[in-house]
Amino acid sequence: MKKLLLLIYFLSQNLMANDLPDLGSYTDSIVSDVEEDKIAKQILYQVNQSPIVVRDVEIDDYLTGLGRRLMTGTSIAHRNIEFFILNDSTINAFAMLGGVIGVHTGLFLAANTESQLASVLGHEIAHLSQKHLPRIIAKQQRDSYKSYLALAFALLLSRSNPELASATQTIASASAIQNTLDFTRKHEKEADREGLKILDRAGFDVRASIEFFKTMQKGNQFSGGTAPAFLRTHPITSDRISDIQDRLSEYPYKQRIDSDYFYYVKGKIKAFLEEEKTIITILERNIKNKTYINEAGERFGLAYAYLRNNMILKARSELEYIKKEKTPNAMLLNLEAIILVQEGKQKEATQLYKKGLLMFPNHRAFVYGLAEHYIRSSKITIAIDLLQDYLLIYPKDPNLYELMAKAQAVKGKVLLQHENLAEAFYYRYNIREAISLLDLAARAQDGNFYEKSRVESRLKELKKEWEQFSKGL
């Protein structure tokens, strides 16, 4: 609770700072794409500073891939929607202005099927595709866009963690927050209907939505009256349930087998949520008593829990058990490569990373692992070549730039080191720090004419972007 309150204070101070961008006139009836882009950058900067955001490329890529699949065929399929995960045990997800969707780890763990998880994401995507948040703005008569952005963030915090709604009074008035929350509830039925269409179009089981709502409501009967956060921020009335059930009759029954990735992601989240020793006890007990949804996913999580405790032999044992039962996929190969590194088998790990990239060329965890190995082994030229190839595919991946900066530092290339660190900060939405690092790169003494020209050009570009962002267009 204390951590979240501190986080609210920190974010609210940043949102109310003088350098907050002026995003337009209050007379605008609907927020423009340019204005939403500015809001998204402001929010994502705060997200990247947050200590409770989960940073795992495999989990991130799974969530983003699922979101992209659900967005296909919607009015926002062309938009760059950003997804992130909060380490929060409450069952919740929320959509924000700027096309940003946050998901709690509690939602992942509560969903028994991939369709149930997808049903909640589809609901949030529907809030964006139906422009519910811009429509809220049109109803609010604010004196300036800055005051609305503060209100919007208060809304985000109160939806994300309803117990903290009162703390957001430091950002905007309690009555304004409540009015906004009441207004958004009027859109829930529309999001339900559109969410079903999104779910069906993506090939998921539409009945999972009502199943998940009922599961949460049933669980609430035995939880001392504290409803899951999703039910409090998206209240499920009998009218909504009736409407959903009526519409389900329009969709044919669809049996769907969940992907192994869904269960492995759940297992990986479990492995890093609890204390190191505690999670081993929990997962071992679940496996012994067969109290799990998917055995392979539970054992996958246990393998990572063993790794956290440096129990390499036991992690290897769990991996081998899964391999006998399941077809290898990217997450299993990555787990094995990590175990090989811990076993001191660097050569075998390198070969497995290479094999993984041939089988799954878009699995970035392999790129990170292989690049780290090359850097540790002083194979800098090979590392740089690998990273350059993948920066062509993922030009906005800050981790790739960070690895490139590390490789250039080993080579003693000061300009290139600072240039790549600047890009890493830029793609974490910290433009000011990126400018500072580019300034250091421009003053470095080791760059050639073309490198200096490139850095100076990029520096001018970012300064102009920061000026537009901070002062308005």
Higher pLDDT, 337 or 26: 337
- DSSP-assigned letter for residue 259: P
The per-residue pLDDT for range 270-328, each reduced to its tens digit, is 999 888 889 999 999 999 999 999 999 999 999 999 999 999 999 999 999 999 999 98
Sign for the pseudo-dihedral over CA of 421, 427, 433, 439 = positive
Element (H, E) at 369: helix 364-376
Is the pLDDT confidence value at 40 over 90? Answer: no
Phi and psi, residue 121, nearest 5° = -60, -40
Query: Mean pLDDT of all residues in the chain?
Result: 83
Residue 64 has pLDDT above 90, yes or no: yes
Give every CB contact of residue 399 below 8 A, 6+ residues apart in sequence: 57, 364, 368, 424
* CB burial string 423-444: b at 16+ within 10 A, e below: bbbbbbbbbeebbebbbbbbeb
pLDDT band with cut points at 50, 70 and 90 for residue 69: very high
Give the mean model confidence (pLDDT) for residues 334-340. 98
CA distance readout (Å), 197 to 200, 248, 467: 5, 10, 42
Residue 74 has pLDDT above 90, yes or no: yes
Of residues 160 and 469, more confidently modeled: 469
Average pLDDT over residues 41-61: 89
pLDDT at 25: 40
| pTM to 2 decimal places | 0.85
- Mean pLDDT for 454-460 is 98
pLDDT at 163: 52
Residue 333 has pLDDT above 50, yes or no: yes
User: For residue 73, what pLDDT is reported?
Assistant: 93
Return d(Cα 337, Cα 347) in angstroms, integer.
10
Contact 191, 139 (CB under 8 A): no
Percent of the chain residues past pLDDT 90, beyond the cut: 58
- Please choose, from the candidates 293, 313, 288, 292, the residue with its C-alpha nearest in 3D space to the C-alpha of residue 303: 313
